[in-house]
Amino acid sequence: MSSNNKMASLAVVDYEALANKDAGEIQRLVTACQTVGMFYLNLGSSNMSTVLEDVPAIFHTGHAFFNLPRNGEEKTQSAREGMERGYHAGKGFEYYEIPRDEYQGGKWLLPATFEPEKERITRTMDCFHRAIQTVIAELSAAVGISIPEISDDAAMPSDTALKLLYKPPMHEAGHVIHPWHTDFGLATLLWYDEVTTQIPVYDKEGKQTDDWETVPVVDGAVLVNIADELAARSGGRLHSTVHRVVAPPGPKRVRNGMIYLLRPYKA
* pLDDT by 10s per residue, the chain, length 267: 344 578 999 999 999 999 999 999 999 999 999 999 999 999 987 778 889 899 999 999 999 999 999 899 999 999 987 678 999 998 778 999 999 989 988 999 999 999 999 999 999 999 999 999 999 999 999 999 988 777 666 667 789 999 999 988 888 888 888 899 999 999 999 998 888 899 999 888 888 999 999 999 999 999 999 999 999 999 999 999 999 999 888 888 888 899 999 998 765
160 C-beta neighbours (distance < 10 Å), count: 24
DSSP letter for 237, please. Answer: S
Closest Cα to residue 161, out of 95, 114, 89, 256? 95
This prediction's pTM: 0.93
pLDDT value at residue 148: 79
pLDDT value at residue 43: 92
Closest Cα to residue 229, out of 156, 161, 136? 136
As a whole number of angstroms, the distance between CA 201 and CA 212 comes to: 5
Report yes or no: 260 and 164 within 8 Å, Cβ to Cβ.
Answer: no
pLDDT value at residue 178: 83
Delineate the domains of the chain, giving CATH numbers in brackets: 12-152+163-262 (2.60.120.330)
Element (H, E) at 24: helix 23-34
Determine the residue type at 233: R
